[in-house]
Amino acid sequence: MNHAHRTLRFWLLPLLTLLAFAAGCRQETSSRPETSPSASVQTISDRLDREVPAQQPAQRIISLSPATTELLFALGLGDSVVGATKHCNFPPAALEIPRVGGGTLESISAEVIVAAQPDLVLCKWDYHQPLIESLDRLQVRSMAIGAKNLQELFEEARWIGKLTDRTAEAEALVSRMQNQQQHLLNVVSRVKHDPPIRVFYEVWDDPLMTAGPDSFIDELLTMAGLQNIVSDTAVRYPRISSETVLQGDPQLILAPTTHFEQVDLAEIRSRPGWDLITAVTNQRIYLISGDEISRCGPRVLDALAEIIVAAYPEAREDLQLDATDQTKVAP
């Protein structure tokens, strides 16, 4: 059975079951107050170029990614989140939100989503398209998001601000992050090397994966004044061979703290042939907080600060990292 057939089968039965729920949702929608006269934006074009109605402020939101959940809390919307994935673990209050699945299309329960009676479901544009189409048929408002860089993250913060009547909070968050970004860039301008330090970022170990030029992680490496050894690819997170790393001879190796399990620096150093890599010889392998570096959310610039300190230890004082941060980047 091919993927399309599996996806159709996955959604068909739940959709038939949910038709009854849908009638309830439509009835609920029809009883809502009329559109605020002050609303200046009627629709927002999301990542799939869908026009999402923005007149009615959302009050019951479901988030289908950890980065989105963090963004909602950063905008002061934690109390409005009525559903999240099992991976949504920050801030701690997010752990109390009812779960709707694991984040992948196959793991998400459409029944649980509809039963929660959301007035906004925030989906990933690249993973949840069949779900989005189903929600459209059920007249449940959804938005396709998933920032690939900082500018898109700022844009999506503003989108959510408009959809929730939190435009001032969204502008304040964007302003704080832009100020933090500028501070970090100023530090980098003082300490970066010429030519730049060659870096390898390990997204996953088996199969070996890294961050390509179209990823937000590569954007962080670039902002840190580093040269990604994997730049000739159109794939955001390509699989690569061990030989690619050997040929690139990185001077710095970075990895998240976990690949589901704690990343073992000794295992990285002991890989065949890797003892010849400059970063291994000079003991310049560092771990970056896994949740912060893996999510394009409000804490992503904290990950950038860790990257900068890993690349330029003399910058630690400028960035005022505390002892906890120091342990994160210890070789």
Question: Residue 259 has what pLDDT?
Answer: 83
Model pLDDT for residues 41-85, shown as the tens digit of each residue: 589 999 999 999 998 999 999 999 999 999 999 999 999 999 999
pLDDT of res. 260: 77
pLDDT of residue 38: 46
DSSP symbol at 218: H
For the record, the structure tokens of 182 come out as: 């500028």
Pick 30 or 188 by higher pLDDT: 188
pLDDT of residue 326: 44
Strand partners, 99: 84
Indicate whether 301 pLDDT > 50.
yes
- What pLDDT does residue 57 have? 96
Q: Is the pLDDT of residue 99 over 80?
A: yes
Which pLDDT score is estimated for 32? Answer: 41
Cα separations (Å) of 109 from 82, 99, 103, 113, 127? 14, 9, 10, 6, 14
Count of Cβ atoms closer than 10 Å to residue 20 Cβ: 9
- Give the 3-state secondary structure percentages of the chain, helix then strand then coil, rounded to 5: 50, 15, 35
- Please report the pLDDT score of residue 318 as a whole number: 84
Q: How much is the pLDDT for 317?
A: 85
Burial of 131 (0-12, 13-18, 19+ CB in 10 A): buried
Percent of the chain with pLDDT over 70: 84
Q: Which is more confidently placed, 35 or 129?
A: 129
**What mean pLDDT comes out for the span 279-286?**
97
State residue 298's pLDDT score: 97
- Per the prediction, the chain carries an average pLDDT of 88
CB atoms within 10 A of CB 25: 20
Q: 241-272: b or e for each residue (b if 16 or more CB lie within 10 Å)?
A: eeeebeebebbbbbbbeebeeebebeebbeee
